[in-house]
């Protein structure tokens, strides 16, 4: 169900523009369903129960007129949670996230790639902090339409541009090394377990 990953920002954006509490309820339910997908596919009772309880909660919020307000949380919580994982990996004694991913893809890394992947992890920490803080600022001071355009559209484009830009920079900077294709890198990224 790859479409589910795109469904939340699209539903959230439409719900904001048409000011629909029910669409906001659906968007928030989809947001919670995405991390539950593996367990839902395996038919885990707890996952289906959790999803049903969450859907009921969001439906109740929509009846109270609060579901659209809840949509302000994901654009802050998502980058903040990933930021936490990336920042924690930079502590002494830990392996930076990007180094973990590169090691999974390449095996043992040359010394120059170890320091490079650490700096890339630091870059992602800064970018994710910027996105989380800008989401807070937009929620507080922008119109709902501007907030939605930024958090459900522009921020995803910024992430995609940063991801692609880093890939191209790495291929240029370390052109003497063999590099996987962009598609192979993305596939390997989703198979990497970050600890």
**Burial group, residue 172, by CB count within 10 angstroms (0-12, 13-18, 19+):** exposed
pLDDT class for 107, splitting at 50, 70, 90?
Answer: confident
Q: Is the pLDDT of residue 3 over 70?
A: no
Domain residue ranges of the chain, discontinuous segments joined by + = 1-71, 72-195
pLDDT class for 194, splitting at 50, 70, 90?
Answer: low
CA angle centred on 156, ends 150 and 160, rounded to 5°: 140
pLDDT class for 162, splitting at 50, 70, 90?
Answer: very high
Q: Is the pLDDT of residue 189 over 80?
A: no
Which of 22, 47, 15 lies closest to 152, judged by CA? Answer: 15
pLDDT digits (tens, 9 = 90+) for 11-49: 999 999 999 999 999 999 999 999 999 999 999 999 999
CA angle centred on 103, ends 97 and 107, rounded to 5°: 175
Concatenating the DSSP letter of every residue in 8-53 gives HHHHHHHHHHHT-HHHHHHHHHHHHHHHHHHHHHTT-HHHHHHHHH
Report pTM. 0.89
| Averaged pLDDT, 114-133 | 97
């Amino acid at each position: 169900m790859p479409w589910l990953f795109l469904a939340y920002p699209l539903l959230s954006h439409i719900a904001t523009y048409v000011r629909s509490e029910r669409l906001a309820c659906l968007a928030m339910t989809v947001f919670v369903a995405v991390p539950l997908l593996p367990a839902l596919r395996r038919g885990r009772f707890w996952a289906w129960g959790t999803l049903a309880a969450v859907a009921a909660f969001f439906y109740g919020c929509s009846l109270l007129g609060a579901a659209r307000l809840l949509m302000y949380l994901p654009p802050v919580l998502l980058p903040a949670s990933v930021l936490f994982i990336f920042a924690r990996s930079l502590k002494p004694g830990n392996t930076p996230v990007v180094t973990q991913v590169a090691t999974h893809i390449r095996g043992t890394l040359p010394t120059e790639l170890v320091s490079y992947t650490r700096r890339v992890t630091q870059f992602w920490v800064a970018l994710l902090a910027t996105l989380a803080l800008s989401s807070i600022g937009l929620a507080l001071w922008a119109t709902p339409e501007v907030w939605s355009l930024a958090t459900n559209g522009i921020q995803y484009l910024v992430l995609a541009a940063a991801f692609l830009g880093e890939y191209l920079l790495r291929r240029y900077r370390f052109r003497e090394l063999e590099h996987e294709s962009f598609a192979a890198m993305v596939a390997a990224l989703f198979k990497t377990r970050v600890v």
